[in-house]
Chains A and B, each alone.
Chain A
C-alpha cells in the first residue's frame, strides 16, 4: 500500500489581527475593510520559507526514522536560494541521509506542493523510492494596504509518503494545466502582481478547481459524496463556499480555508489544510485534496486503521493554539522588510560565509549535530577533535549526537540591547541539555520578561543571518523558551 505515513504543519506564533492592518492602513486603501475579520499568521523576523519548512518537517518526522528517507522535496515560491538546492538544506537540518538521496525543489507556482506530492507518490508507487518527504512553505510578502496583505499568511506543511505504516492510502490523482495567470511574480521581484480579483475568483478558483475535481471523479468513477473531507484552497471565502455548492459538497465536509485563523499560506496551503483534515480523520475516511495554480492537482486518500496511532508532534491545531498577538503593525512591517530602520554602524558588519567551513561543519551547523564520546559517553557541542570531559580528553572517538530534538533548560541568559537586532533586545544564553551537553545559543519566540533561569527550551531551526550584499542566508538552531503565551 502506498500513501501518507506521517504529516505535520507549522504556523508561526505571531498573529496579526486584520483589524490592526485596517486601523493602520485603511486611510490609504479603504477597500481592505471588506476583509476585516480574523487574523493572519506572521513569521518571526528570523523565519523564512525554509526554516518554517524545517519546523513542519520536524513536526511530521517526530518519531519517524529519518535515516530511511530517500529524499526531500521542497515546494515554495519564496525559496531563499535561486541556485542552491533549498530542499538539501531541509534534508541537512533533518540530518537525513546524503548517500542515495535525491532531493529536489518544486517552485514557481502555488500548486507546487500538490505537484511535489504527486511526484513523491509516483516515485513510491513505482518502487524507486520508499520514503519521500514533501515540505511546502511560503513566507508571504505583500505591499502594505493591499488585499494580498489581508489574505495571505505564513506557514508550512510537511507530508511523508511511503509504503510502510500507511495512515492514508493514496487513491490516485488527476491534474489540469493552464497558463492561467491570476498573479505572477517576475524573477527577482519582491511582490506578486495581481489581476482583478473578480476574474481570479470567478474564472480561476471558481472554475478550475471544480473542473479538475470533476475530472478526478470521472477518471476513478467516484462520486463527490464518497468523500468525508474535501480540501482545496481559496482565499475568497465566498468563492470557497461557492465551489462546494457547485460540486454538491455538504458544507460540513468542506475543509476550512483557515482564512480567519491564519490566512492563505500559498504553496503550503493545500498540504496545511490536508494536515488539519488528517488530524480529524477516522479510519475509512476518504479525503480529496486539490492544489491551485496554473491549473489544478487533485489527489484522493483513504484513511486506514493506522491513522489512530499517529499524531504529529504539535500539528496544525497545536500551532494554531500557540498564538501570540502581534499588536504592533510597524513591527510587522519591519519583520517583513517593508520599511527601513537603522541598525547603526555596529550593524554594518557583513562578513561573507566561508563555504568551505560550512561544508566541513554542515552537520553541526545545519543539523545541530554534536558528538558523543564513545569512551566516556559525554554528549558535546560543538563537535571537536578532543573530548571536552577533562577526565577523558579522548581524541577522535566520537559518534554523532543529535541535539535538535533534545529538550534543555536555561542556565543563564540576557537580553542585549547593544547587539544589532531587528527585534531587540537580542536574547541569548547558555542551555543545559537533558541527557548531557551544553550550548551557547540565541533564543527566539520569547519576550525577555518571560525568560527565567531553569525554564525548559526546545530547539528550532532559524534564519541566522541574511547577507543582502551577496544574497546568502545562513541558518542555525535557536532555543525557544517554553513560555506561557
Chain B
C-alpha cells in the first residue's frame, strides 16, 4: 500500500525571477537568474545536484525540445535532465519529477525548474496552438483560444445555478481586484497596479464574458526549487524545514467533453484535491489550509476552483468571494503573491512560482503579504480547457508540523 509523499521530501532552496515583459532576456537568462537565487538559498554547490527536471509548455516557440536548453544554460555537470510538458501543470510536473526521484532514494538532491519565454512571438496572448492539438483534432476542433475556452465555463456556471451571468461577472471582478491588491505588494509581480471592480467590469471584452482584466498576465519568467530528504536538509543545518505534504495530478479522460458533465466544475480538480487532502492528512480543508495559490488563468477559473477544492460550497463561491473570504485579510488568503493574474503566467514556471510564495510564507519571509502562522499552503494548476484538462495540486507545510 502506497504511503504517499507526505514529509518524505524537503525543499531546501527556491528561486524565482521577476515576472513580466522581459524583452531583453531569453529563457537562458531567466533560468540562470532563478537558479542563482535558488542555489544561494539552498547553500549547496551546483555539483551536489544529481538530477534535474525542466518544465516548459510552448517548446516550439521557446527552448525547443529536450532538456538540453537547461543543461546547457546552467552548465550542469552531465547529469540526467528531463524536460516535462503537461500544459499549465508543466512546472508542477517538473517539481513532481524531482520530488519523486528523491523520495525513491534514487538521488539525494534534485532540481526542478520551470521557465517560459512568451514575449518573443510578436502578438498578445499565448502562442497560437492550432498545430499543437494533434493531427486529428486539428481537423475538427473549434479554433479556440485560452480565454475562449474558459469563458465558456462562466456561461455553464451561471446556467447551472440559475444566476445572471453579470452577477457571476461581479464576483469574478472581485477575484481580479483582490489579486491586484496583493500583486501591488510584490516586487517580483508583473502587474502591480491596484484596480477597481468598475475597471474590471468595464475592461474590453476578450471572450464573452471575460474582459481583459479577467485574464492573467502573459509574462516571461522562471522559478525553481532544490529538493532533498528531510534528513539531508537537517544535516545541511536547515531550520524551519518546508516539506512536501501532497502532490497529486489528475487528467480528464473524455467524460466532460464527450459524455456527462454539468459544465460548472472541474472534474479533475475535484478529484485531485480530495486525493491531496488525504495524502496530506487534511480532513477539513476549510479549517486546515492556511493559504492557496490557485490557477487563476482567468477569474472564472479561480471562482469555480474554490468549489472544486471543497472549500466553498457548490454554487456559493461568488458569495464567499464577495464576502472577502479569499482576500489577504480573509480566512483563507488566495493568491497572496498576486496570482497568475498579477504575478504573471510564464506557463512552465507558474507551478514553481506558486510554491515559491508558499515556501516564503511558511518561512515568514513574505513581507507585507505575510499570512499569520500558516500551516499548510496549497498550490493548484489547471492546464488545458474546462472540458479537457490537466490538474496538479501540491500541498506544502512545515516539516512534521
A interface, CB within 8 angstroms of B: 344-346, 348-349, 351, 353-354, 357-358, 361, 364-365, 378, 380-382, 384, 388-390, 411-421, 425-426, 428-430, 437-442, 448, 453-454, 464, 474, 476
Contact = CB atoms under 8 A, between A and B. Distances in A.
Nearest to B125: A418
Contacts of A417: 205-207
A344 B258 contact: no
Interface string B120-163: 01110100101100011011111111011101111110110000
Interface string B154-177: 111011000000000000000000
A425 B208 contact: yes
B148 A416 contact: yes
B121 A390 contact: no
B254 interface: yes
B142 A454 contact: no
A476 B140 contact: yes
Contacts of A412: 152-153, 155-156, 159, 263, 386
B255 interface: yes
B136 A381 contact: no
11 contacts: A388-B254, A412-B386, A418-B125, A418-B145, A418-B147, A428-B144, A430-B152, A430-B261, A438-B259, A453-B156, A476-B139
B208 A448 contact: yes
B152 A346 contact: no
A300 to B, nearest CB: 44
B236 interface: no
Contacts of B147: 416, 418
B387 interface: yes
B253 interface: yes
B257 interface: yes
The list of the 7 closest CB pairs from A to B, nearest first, reads: A416-B148, A412-B156, A414-B151, A428-B142, A453-B159, A412-B152, A416-B207
Contacts of A416: 144-145, 147-148, 151, 206-208
Given A345-B122, A358-B139, A440-B142, 9 more contacts: A354-B135, A357-B136, A382-B258, A384-B254, A413-B155, A415-B207, A416-B145, A419-B148, A426-B142
Contact of B159 (A346, A364, A454): A454
Nearest to A353: B139
Contacts of A439: 257-258
Contacts of A354: 135, 138-139
Contact of B140 (A346, A348, A382, A415): A382
A476 to B, nearest CB: 5
B186 to A, nearest CB: 27
Nearest to B262: A411
A453 B138 contact: no
B214 to A, nearest CB: 12
Contacts of A390: 253, 255, 259
Contacts of B261: 411, 430, 438
A308 B147 CA distance: 52
Contacts of A464: 140
A371 to B, nearest CB: 10
